[in-house]
Structure 1
Amino acid sequence: MKKLASVQDAIRNDYNNVVFISSETCSICHVDEPKARKLAEANDVPFHHLDIMQEPELAGVFEVLTVPAVLVYHEGKEIARQARFIDFTSLEKLLKQLPKDSETTDYQTLFK
């Protein structure tokens, strides 16, 4: 529960966040987690890895029905979600488009 609370604080307080939810028994999760972490770090987005086996309440809090799941947050709101089959190309494109600070966002540029 302690890790979940710190991730929820980060979502509320940080501008952008990537949350990766996995299970220790999921072999695909072990392959996808380093890839998602690398993309987040390359784009200066905080990365949070949560294990659903260690904190089962994650399923209800984040409404995750399958793992792996990648959730992207911007200004405290979920803006993207992928589960089971992660499309790393679209995830990378999204992370590159995210504004890096709280300056006024030009949404025409963001969604080109």
Structure 2
Amino acid sequence: MKEIENLSNYAEVEAFINEHELSFLYVSRPDCSVCHAILPKLRALLEHFPQMKLGQVNALQVEEVAGHLSIFTAPTLLLFVKGKEYLREDRFVRFADLEEKLARIYEFYTSD
């Protein structure tokens, strides 16, 4: 399973996004059953992309994440490349489609 970094305030979220060339942010809520179901699948999927870093944010704990990143539902999955948002998936995620999108982006940014 992909290692996950828990981010407990918005300063940590910003630092995570800016410190990693490929940063994947998972915004969830503890009372969200969909969030609990998706996380293990996401961690398994991201194992195929070793240079992508995974960070998790509890939207109830870090409330300002919603305003800063325009998040209206949980879970929200965001991929940032060099600090800019490149991909967003909300609530119900089609993992086959997500894997295809991630593979294209990953190949483009990691090929020499």
TM bin (shorter chain): 0.7 to 0.9
Percent identity over the alignment is 29
- Counterparts of 2:59 and 2:88 in 1: how far apart (Å)? 16
Deviation at 1:37, TM superposition (A): 1.9
Give the Cα–Cα distance (whole angstroms) in 2 for the partners of residues 60 and 34 of structure 1.
26
Larger Rg over CA atoms: 1
Structure 1 segment 80-99 matched on structure 2, within 5 A = 80-97=87-104, 98=106, 99=109
Pick from 27, 31, 53: which aligns with 1:21? 27
Mapping for residues 1-112 of structure 1, pairs under 5 Å: 2-44=8-50, 45-97=52-104, 98=106, 99-100=109-110
Relative to structure 1, is the Cα distance of residues 68 and 75 closer, same or farther in structure 2, using a 3 angstrom cutoff? same
Secondary structure at the counterpart of residue 42 of structure 1: coil
The one-letter code matched in structure 2 to 1:83 is D
Flag the structure with higher strand content: 2
CA distance in 1, matches of 2:27, 2:38: 10
The alpha-carbon deviation at position 36 of structure 1 amounts to 1.4
- TM-score relative to the length of structure 1: 0.81
Give 1:55 shift: 1.3
Q: CA deviation at 1:100?
A: 2.5
Moved segments of 4+, more than 4 Å: none
Which ranges in structure 1 are unaligned for 5 or more consecutive residues? Answer: 104-112
Which whole-Å CA distance do the structure 2 matches of 1:79 and 1:57 have between them? 21
